[in-house]
Amino acid sequence: MTDASLPKVELYTDGACSGNPGPGGWAFILRHPATGKEIEKFGAELETTNNRMELIGAIEGLASLKSRSVVHLYSDSQYVLNGLKTWIKDWKARGWKTAAKKPVKNIDLWQKLDELAAAHEVHFHWIRGHNEHPENERADRLAVAAREALVREGGSR
């Protein structure tokens, strides 16, 4: 049940990687529909994976919120959405181990994302990637541009 007194926001996230591992970028678009205010942020890492970039996009987006909110999180990453909706409960119950009793990959990012998501009421929405969804396409362009800028600068960003 949604708390009617909480602000409602839309968060669109994406990550992009060239090679896996390789240089990667992340981005988010955060929109407050009631006011029309929107912010975009993006960044890049020289040696990373696509999954890490997808996670960082969601982390940075949630971290940008100033108060508890109802967040509609839109992502083309089943990894991020399934992880937050389903897998994370089991991982935590098993001491951050998979069903195969192996350590969860990207545990540092999953723990941060879990902490940030717990501070909000998060609703999950999967978007098919590269399917002409305007905000998903924009987040993808921002992530790719951040990655390309980092590579052009020789990783000095």
* Residues 142, 29: Cα–Cα separation, whole Å: 9
Is 54 among the catalytic positions? Answer: yes
* Residues 124, 49: Cα–Cα separation, whole Å: 22
Instruction: Point out the catalytic residue in the list 15, 25, 57, 61.
Output: 15
Contacts of 132 (CB under 8 A, 6+ apart): none
Is 15 among the catalytic positions? Answer: yes
Is 133 among the catalytic positions? Answer: no
Instruction: Point out the catalytic residue in the list 10, 45, 54, 135.
Output: 54
Instruction: Point out the catalytic residue in the list 25, 76, 83, 135.
Output: 76
Cis ω before 21 (30° cut-off from 0): yes
Instruction: Point out the catalytic residue in the list 14, 45, 60, 135.
Output: 14
Is 120 among the catalytic positions? Answer: no
**Residues with catalytic roles:** 14-15, 54, 76, 130, 140
